[in-house]
Structure 1
Amino acid sequence: MSTRYHIGVCSLHLLLFSALINVLLQAVEMNAIAVPSSSCYVFDNSSHIIDFSSWIGHPFEYEEKGSDLVVQFCKDVESRSQVGYVDFGRFDKFNYFVSGSGHADFVQDYYNGDLTSCEHSYDKLGRTAQVNVMCRGCLNGQCKGGLGCICNITHESSCRSCTVIVDLAIPCEIQGPRVFKGFTVGFHPRSWEIVYNGLTQLGYEKPHRAFSFSTEQTSLVLYMTAIASLSSFVQKPIIQVFPENGLEVKVSGSGATGSYPTTLSPSMLMIDWRCDIARDVPYAVNVTIPVADYEPINFFLAKMCEKRQDVQGDYMQGWATFGILSCLFIVGSSLFCCGGFVYKTQVQGQRGIDALPGMTLLSACLETVSGAGHSYPRAEGFNDAIVSEASWDRPSSSSSSRPTRIPSEKNYGSI
């Protein structure tokens, strides 16, 4: 009964811990200003983002003589009649949605339209349209309430282009957070894979397994750039790891010390991470870069830890210890050999190879291995041989008058 109770308590604690991690991730994720899912967004004059994604494709029609002008919001501008459709332009996805001036709050440009009646135009964009978006309604007071309407249209034609200008009144969306425009974060000095124009790109607004870094990648370098006039607003980054235990993260570089990034001299944020605990789910590393008077730059880096990684410094420390011990052994051996050689030559009076330290022991070992037997004949052996020889063989007169010489020889094993 007690075992089941403990198992139940542990499971409950695990569930509570997982729920707490999810809440923290969601709380941090809300601060990340991710790029909208569509290109139908705009920055107002105060750098606040306004997302019009819910208006994509909504039609606004304006009746004219013989034809009707239709604006499909963030898609195209057309002139519809019995003859057919005449395309005045399609919405461009590369930031042709900007803040306006005067009576227009925002301006949309539509390019690459139908070339009908503009065959002699030198403008490669052909028929174009400009939509002036007004959030306060029409100037003439019409089109009150509802989803808005077209207040007025103006046709302009020249030898270079055919353009229609449309005044469109709609209730604008709620103002979003203030974005630090011009700020980028990428893997190269002139790239912006993670943050572009102050907006966190898809894949880094929250931890994604598909965008995670492998276990073998132990270091990462991020390059940050900003407009030079606003670079002093950038502050030191804040690093948070979820879960807290299991992944060791260290940051360095000019970006970590609060250096001001510019387009000409990007600052580097070097991240060194090491896996202490292996797990199937990637670790989430949240990088928050505070910006004065703006919303902070926030993005996530996912790190896989399929195995535990040892500290790189341990290997370096081991090799350093081995090198020091090797040097001490070589120096000690050299001093021992030199000291022994000097001692044997000056004190014992030995010369040549006999003066080398350890030669006697080496000679004995070599004799034992080679089986040479008596390497140093003793004097008693020679005398016994002479006596035994005299007992049974009488030496000649010539031999008796001449003393017998015993050769003196030394054998050093196989040397």
Structure 2
Amino acid sequence: MVLKSFVEVHPESHFPLQNLPYGMFKPNHCSEARPGVAIGDFVLDISVIASAGLLDGPFLRNSNCFNQPNLNKFLELGRPAWKEAHATLQKLLSETEPTLRDNANLRQKALVPMEKVQMLLPVAVGDYTDFYSSINHARNCGLMFRGAGEPIKPNWFHLPIAYHGRASSIVVSGTDIIRPRGQDRPVGNSPPYFGPSRKMDFELEMAAVVGPGNELGKPVDVNEAADHIFGLVLMNDWSARDIQGWECIPLGPFLGKNFGTTISPWIVPLDSLEPFACDAPTQNPPPLPYLSEKKSRNYDISLEVHIKPSGHEDSYVVSKSNFKHLYWTIAQQLAHHTINGCNLKPGDLLGSGTISGPEPDSYGSLLELTWNGQKPLTIAGETRTFLQDGDEVIISGFCKGDGYTVGFGTCSGKILPFPA
């Protein structure tokens, strides 16, 4: 039986009753932040539902987690509380439940038109780690910069490679990104170039949002790692390829990456993605025991990248990929992150790394799509090797169910010139 809500939900909406992703919002600019779930073209204000005493199950009744400026305290409660909240909200919004449906006063307070709200970062991000888990992306980068001899280094097949990113520059979808300045490699005997990046790029990613976390010195077992992941968001981990290329040896990304990372405002819980779980790619050689999962799973999430060129009203698809292409799973990423005793905390983000598919039109960055500028794209009659000022990048992601869609909305950002 297909679940239906008394709230009208368009068949192509990303936010049916089967989804109910969580976010933080303001009904207007003067109000305080409060938690909500998306349902059709509305946001259900969970703080109103909680104040009405409707979230009274054993894991939530004594908690003030929905009276907070972010979702961190709710994430800390763990999967039993998440399941309880989802089941309660799903029941309240169903077409057969009268509690909210037939209470006009409560309904008016609790359901806010999405077009009127201001979306905020859903969590306070204490730490952010960016992985490098797509074999197609790793191979493409290796071919470009190291040649065909050994495009992927042997260690990549034994552990999920990652680096620590900058949490303070993570922004919510719709936030403009100022073109960063930095150095680029010198030409001949000249000093290094210094100025605005000339190779601004997007990176098609998703990020796992950490739930309960773990204590310092106590690793998380790979087969229990999913209980430490609340859900997924879309991510654009912007990259200044020229700055990054000059600075990255020997330590890795710094100014080429830490100027901005955009995430979608809605976190889709893993429980909502469960119907779309699929087998992960076969790993060869088999991973070490601490990374060996009893059931190695990805999720079948279709991903698209649109670019709206500066001065244009329409956007154009430049890439179609899928989360299922990731070689290292999110459970393996989290288990590896903690195997040395590192402690994760609620709200931490684990970026997947660029998600590139096997075909040229499924590559997850302009670096790959234009092969480092050698094969320019044509978008709306204009050529692009990398992003120009005024270009907007819009990422979307969704899963197709039987008569419904579970989606993430969009993750967008526009490049602005560095101030003169």
> Structure 2-normalised TM-score?
0.29
Q: Give the number of the structure with larger relative contact order, counting CA–CA contacts within 8 Å between residues 6 or more apart.
A: 2
Q: Which has the larger radius of gyration?
A: 1
